[in-house]
Amino acid sequence: MREEESTFGAQPQHLDRLIALGLEDNAEEAAGSAGPQMEGLGGWVGRYKLLQVLGEGGIGVVYLAEQTEPVRRQVALKIIKPGMDSRRVLARFEAEAQTLARMEHPNIARVYDAGLAPSGRPYFVMEHVPGLPIAKYCDEHRLTIDERLHLFLHVCAAVQHAHQKGIIHRDLKPSNILVRTQEREVVAKVIDFGIARAIHQPLTERTLYTEQGQPIGTPEYMSPEQAGLAPSDVDIRTDIYSLGVLLYELLTGCTPFDAEELRRKGYGEMLRIICEQDPVKPSTRLTMLGGKLEEIAERRHATTDQLRKLVRGDLDWIVMKCLEKERTRRYETANGLVIDIEHHLNNEPVTARPPSRLYRFRKLVQRNKEVSAAVAVVVGLLCTIGLLAAGLVSKRPSVPLSKELRLVVLPFENRGPAEDEYFATGLTDAVTARLAALHGLAVISRQSAMQYKKGQKTTRQIAAELRVDYIL
């Protein structure tokens, strides 16, 4: 074992003791032995010299620091901001340190140390990853679709490891996944577990929560259950949703819902979109990019036609399976997502499939009250007509009771966007099925009726060819 691992390796027992020490109420006493009494750039926190600010969040600042003993190396040191020492903030900070300390994976940034700064503010020290956000790295290096998928598999492996350790990240996005070239190998590292959640037990003994009515996460990467303010519904499939958004972005250069547009909509409408509105599939989004598509394709080392062809099909449905509103329809684990991507790369069948037209129609009706009312009126009216027509059979003594009236439901025409074609098809299926259930009616199959979709034949010609009594 190397010296740095034995002294400052990500050992949970070692870190638990330091983290607990750093968050005790008697912080002044603990800080007395914390090292040089100087903070800020050029100053010291324990054995770490602060070199520059790497980033700043709501509760903490991350510095690039230099460790001087027992080994010399650069690290990332995260410390709570002055004045941000409420019990809730301390609990959240402690939770992040405890979370990282649990994990030991080549694609997750490691924690080395933790303690108190001279001011009494807690800090922890982690691996410095001098890389680029994954989306930016892929674009700058013009990675192909297959190369992006292989890199994405690293991220899935890290998320799977976190889940096995009982941790949900809840904020997976490009800026929290840094990529660098290490010994001629491209490596992705997941960072920032600041809003992570334990699956089976609390991360710390302190209370960790968000204010009522305030969802946690980044809107464009947030799952519907996160946006729906239902903490009990958040499980590992929340991260699967965010992985789907990330994959969508790596393929198309944009997220399913545009960040600026979401924020312009206002808080309530933003949550409604996340919870209720289905995004278009990646290949469809590519066709909507207009003049930007050529640049997007060039960054993926492909022509526009090649890119659309590469994304259409398996990758469409893999992404859309991750983005299902109902989490029970997503991949159960990150490994399930990995298996499908590997199958795609190996030209093998994938488990992801497009949802049936009937399922999509049913979901549309459930979400839209006006559509639901219209369907109810149409189906009710047709059933009434069907009942009246069926009643004619018993009132015509010259017609044997075994002779049913024959009826055909011609396909409904979609006059909306092409992507709404499933609505017209679903309505046709629903009406056909309801009428076919009525006694006294023989309804021609939808397959036979489809040949007359947008046809030029008159109703008399159709009636003669299908030998039907009624045409809808």
Measured distance CA(77)–CA(322) in Å, rounded: 34
Torsion from C-alpha of 278, 282, 286, 287, nearest 10 degrees: -60
The DSSP secondary-structure symbol of 122 reads E
Instruction: Please report, in angstroms and rounded to a whole number, the separation of the first and last CA atoms in the chain.
Output: 79
Whether this prediction's pTM lies above 0.85 is answered by no
| Catalytic residue (one of 113, 139, 171, 239) | 171
pLDDT digit string (tens) for the chain, length 472 residues: 333 333 333 344 444 444 443 333 333 333 333 333 356 788 888 889 999 998 876 667 889 999 988 888 999 998 877 766 666 667 766 766 777 777 889 999 888 888 878 877 888 888 898 899 999 999 999 999 999 999 999 999 999 999 998 888 888 999 999 999 877 889 999 987 766 565 554 444 333 334 444 556 789 999 999 887 666 778 899 999 999 999 999 999 999 999 888 888 888 898 899 998 999 999 999 999 988 999 999 999 999 999 999 999 999 999 999 999 999 999 999 999 999 999 999 999 999 987 666 655 665 665 565 556 666 666 666 666 555 555 544 444 444 444 577 888 888 887 776 666 767 777 777 778 777 777 667 888 777 777 777 777 888 888 888 888 888 8
Q: Which domains does the chain have, with CATH numbers?
A: 3-127 (3.30.200.20), 132-199+218-355 (1.10.510.10), 361-471 (no CATH)
Phi, psi at 109, each rounded to 5°: -60, 135
Active site residue 171: yes
- 206-212, Cβ contacts within 8 angstroms, sequence gap of 24 or more: 206/23, 206/87, 206/90, 206/91, 206/94, 207/87, 207/88, 207/91, 208/88, 208/91, 208/92, 208/95, 209/88
